[in-house]
């Protein structure tokens, strides 16, 4: 198994273990995202669209407002409206104005989305098991804890990290 340092052909050592970990995490996320795309793309959707459809399926017949869908996304996207429009054109999402608040738009998964998810869910689950299977259950749980801690740290860190004092 080659390290990320070898894979990206980096000749100098990383400045710190944290730097190496960040590069490794980003490279791994990219590889996983590309491999998961291979599962959903034959069905005419992207991984982000798959995520939206799963969110809306979970919302059930009540649907969800657009901003709630955006808040639940795995990868945040500023273009949630465009993403929903594309899914609506594919007849996988239905949208309507909220009767109580005309500024809000409610989103619903269509029966076609349910059928698509029934086809894609199994292969997506299998892909995850294939990619993380070599870690075993204990290491996978440990990885989840570590990733949650790193994400928490990144979301609570000061926003001015790029500014260094003179």
Chain segment 12-54, per-residue pLDDT in tens: 877 888 888 888 899 999 999 999 999 999 999 999 999 999 9
* pLDDT for residue 166 is more than 90: no
What pLDDT score does 89 carry?
A: 96
pLDDT tens track for 103-159: 889 999 999 999 999 999 999 999 999 999 999 999 999 999 999 999 898 888 777
Burial of 90 (0-12, 13-18, 19+ CB in 10 A): middle
Domains of the chain, earliest start first? 45-151 (1.10.10.10)
Per-residue model confidence (pLDDT) at position 164? 56
pTM of the model: 0.85
Pair of tokens at residue 9 = 């052909």
| Alpha-carbon gap, residue 88 to 83, rounded angstroms | 9
């Amino acid at each position: 198994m080659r390290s990320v340092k070898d894979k990206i052909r980096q000749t100098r050592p990383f400045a710190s273990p944290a730097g190496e970990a960040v590069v490794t995490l980003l490279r791994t996320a990219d590889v996983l995202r590309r491999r998961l795309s291979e599962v959903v793309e034959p069905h005419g959707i992207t991984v982000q669209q798959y995520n939206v459809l799963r969110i809306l399926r979970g919302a059930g017949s009540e649907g969800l407002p657009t901003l709630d869908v955006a808040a639940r996304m795995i990868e945040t996207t500023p273009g949630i409206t465009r993403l929903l429009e594309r899914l609506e054109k594919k007849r996988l999402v239905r949208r309507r104005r909220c009767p109580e608040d005309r500024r809000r738009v409610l989103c619903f998964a269509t029966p076609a989305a349910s059928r698509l998810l029934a086809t894609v869910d199994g292969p997506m689950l299998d892909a995850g098991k294939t990619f993380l299977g070599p870690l075993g259950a204990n290491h996978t749980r440990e990885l989840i804890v570590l990733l949650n801690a790193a994400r928490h740290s990144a979301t609570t860190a000061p926003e001015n990290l790029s500014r260094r004092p003179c």
